[in-house]
Structure 1
Amino acid sequence: MEKKQLFPDCIFVETQDPDALEEQLEPCRTFLQASKEGSLVWLVPSEEEEFLKELCGNEHHLCMSQGYIRNGIPHVIHGPLVGMERRIRKIDRHKRTANVEMPAGKPGTFLLAGLEITSKS
Structure 2
Amino acid sequence: MYWHVLFVRGGHELKIKEKINESAHDAFLPKVTKIFKSKSEMRKEDVLLFKNYVFVKSKHDTTEFQKFIQNEIQQLTGFIKLLKHDQETESLYPHEKEFLMKFANKDHVIENSIGLIEGDKIIITEGPLMGHESMIKKIDRHKRIAQLDIEMFGQLRTITVALEIISKQ
The two structures have a TM-score, normalised by structure 2, of 0.60
Q: Are residue 17 (structure 1) and residue 61 (structure 2) matched?
A: yes
1:112 is paired with a residue whose SS is strand
Task: State the Cα deviation string for residues 47-82 of structure 1 (Å, max 9, x = none).
Answer: 111111110122211111000111222110011110
Q: CA deviation at 1:116?
A: 0.6
1:35-74 mapped onto 2 (5 Å cutoff): 40-42=82-84, 43-74=91-122
Q: Is the 8 A contact 1:98 1:114 kept in 2?
A: yes
Higher relative contact order (CA 8 A, sep 6+): 2
Structure 2 gap ranges (5+): 1-43, 85-90
Q: CA deviation at 1:17?
A: 1.1
**142, 160, 167: which one aligns with 1:112:** 160
Q: Is the 8 A contact 2:46 2:109 kept in 1?
A: no
Distance in 1 (CA, whole Å) between partners of 2:155 and 2:53 is 18
Q: CA deviation at 1:29?
A: 7.3
Cα distance change on mapping 1:63 and 1:3 into 2, 3 Å: same
The two structures have a TM-score, normalised by structure 1, of 0.81
Q: CA deviation at 1:119?
A: 1.4
Give the letter for the 2:69 counterpart. Answer: L
**Identity rate, percent:** 31
**28, 31, 34: which one aligns with 2:78:** 31
* Structure with a larger share of its residues in strand: 2
Q: Are residue 90 (structure 1) and residue 132 (structure 2) matched?
A: no
* Regions of 4+ moved over 4 Å: none
Structure 1 gap ranges (5+): 35-39
Mean Cα deviation higher: 7-16 or 63-72:
7-16
Give the letter for the 1:32 counterpart. Answer: F
How large is the Cα RMSD of the aligned pairs?
2.0
